């Protein structure tokens, strides 16, 4: 399985998409560095996890998933792979692990960019260890949050254009839901809000945002405190959803014609 994951990674690496995807990890932190009133490390890292993560990384993950799952069909190499023999389930799991590695590496690249910008602005680097931990966790959780969108792209098995539309539609829908009180201010339990990946991630991230005491923004986020989600809880929920999505992706991949 490990060799299969490496093969999938090298196939992806040959495409320019991976290079341009990593370039986007610099885009928003560089832009916000120009307009942020308070240039602190915590603010830069928040951008890499939230704006970069939800607006760029989630749609990129869906597009790359479509690229990985469609390339054997496009190149007519699937029947050759199945003669090795390699099962479609093994191929699908390997592709899912490549997506996970990409997302974690993307968040680590964002962390490095945020750290460099904070240092260049003369901001304190205190707490860099916690920020590194949060970015790694965010990479794993963003992978899980993107899987429903990737599943749609694989399940419908249409074209890259449809996949891109699905990717950005899913990302925008998730980002819209995270500003809804109906999604954010709901207790954990057997309700729809508990299983919405993007709003749930914001409920986890908000507790680590740093705000000036007494400010209106701090008071606004303080109202979310009863609805914060702990790290073990969000991992349990999103990893459970990830397992379901990967299983469904295997089923969708198995029904594709050779």
The pLDDT of residue 214 = 46
d(CA 15, CA 21): 11
Q: Are 21 and 59 in contact, with CB atoms under 8 Å apart?
A: no
Nearest to 205 by CA among 147, 125, 138: 138
The pLDDT of residue 127 = 85
The pLDDT of residue 144 = 95
The pLDDT of residue 123 = 81
The pLDDT of residue 213 = 43
Q: Are 202 and 232 in contact, with CB atoms under 8 Å apart?
A: no
CA distance to 77, 199, 257, per residue, from 81 (Å): 6, 39, 14
d(CA 201, CA 243): 17
- Residue-level pLDDT, tens digit, the chain, 258 residues: 667 777 777 666 666 667 777 777 777 777 777 777 777 888 888 888 888 888 889 888 988 888 888 776 655 555 555 556 677 788 888 889 999 999 999 999 989 988 888 888 888 888 899 999 999 999 999 999 999 988 887 877 666 677 778 777 887 888 788 777 788 888 888 888 889 999 899 889 888 875 544 455 666 666 777 888 999 999 999 999 999 999 998 888 777 655
- pTM here is 0.85
CA distance to 24, 203, 220, per residue, from 215 (Å): 32, 20, 9
Structure tokens at 224: 């979310």
The pLDDT of residue 87 = 78
Question: How far does the chain reach from its first CA to its final CA, in angstroms?
Answer: 22
CA distance to 110, 177, 178, per residue, from 199 (Å): 21, 6, 4
The pLDDT of residue 43 = 83
The pLDDT of residue 103 = 93
The pLDDT of residue 5 = 72
The pLDDT of residue 220 = 66
The pLDDT of residue 218 = 63
Q: For 201-252, what is each residue's pLDDT tens digit?
A: 988 988 887 554 445 566 666 677 788 899 999 999 999 999 999 999 888 8
User: Residues with Cβ < 8 Å from 81, sequence gap 6 or more?
Assistant: 72, 91
Per-residue HEC secondary structure of the chain comes to: CHHHHHHHHHHHHCCHHHHHHHHHHHHHHHHHHHHCCCCCHHHHHHHHHCHHHHHHHHHHHHHHHHHHHHHHHHHCCHHHHHCCCCCHHHHHHHHHHHHHHHHHHHHHHHHHHHHHHHHHCCCCCCCHHHHHHHHHHHHHHHHHHHHHHHHHHHHHCCCHHHHHHHHHHHHHHHHHHCCCHHHHCCCCCCCHHHHCHHHHHHHHHHHHCCCCCCCHHHHHHHCCHHHCCCHHHHHHHHHHHHHHHHHHHHHHHHCCCC
For the chain, domain boundaries: 2-179+249-254
User: Residues with Cβ < 8 Å from 242, sequence gap 6 or more?
Assistant: 143, 144, 147
């Amino acid at each position: 399985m490990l060799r299969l994951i490496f093969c999938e990674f090298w196939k992806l690496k040959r495409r320019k998409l991976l290079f341009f995807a990593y370039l986007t990890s610099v885009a928003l932190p560089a832009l916000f560095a120009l307009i942020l009133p308070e240039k602190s490390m915590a603010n830069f890292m928040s951008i890499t996890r939230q704006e970069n993560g939800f607006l760029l990384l989630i749609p990129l993950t869906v597009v790359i998933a479509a690229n990985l799952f469609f390339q054997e069909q496009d190149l007519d190499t699937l029947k050759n792979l199945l003669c090795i023999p390699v099962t479609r389930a093994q191929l699908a799991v390997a592709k899912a692990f490549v997506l996970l590695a990409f997302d974690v590496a993307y968040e680590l690249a964002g962390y490095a960019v945020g750290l460099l910008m904070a240092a260049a602005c003369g901001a304190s680097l205190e707490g860099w260890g916690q920020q590194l931990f949060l970015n790694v966790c965010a990479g794993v959780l963003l992978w899980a949050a993107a899987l429903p969108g990737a599943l749609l792209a694989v399940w419908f098995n249409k074209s890259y254009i449809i996949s891109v539309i699905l990717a950005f539609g899913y990302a925008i829908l998730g980002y819209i839901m995270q500003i809804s009180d109906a999604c954010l201010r709901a207790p954990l339990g057997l309700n729809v809000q508990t299983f919405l990946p993007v709003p749930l991630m914001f409920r986890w991230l908000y507790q680590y945002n740093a705000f000036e005491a007494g400010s209106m923004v701090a008071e606004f986020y303080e109202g979310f405190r009863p609805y914060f989600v702990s790290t073990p809880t969000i991992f349990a929920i999103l990893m459970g959803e990830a397992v379901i999505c990967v299983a469904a992706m295997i089923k969708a991949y198995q029904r594709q014609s050779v």
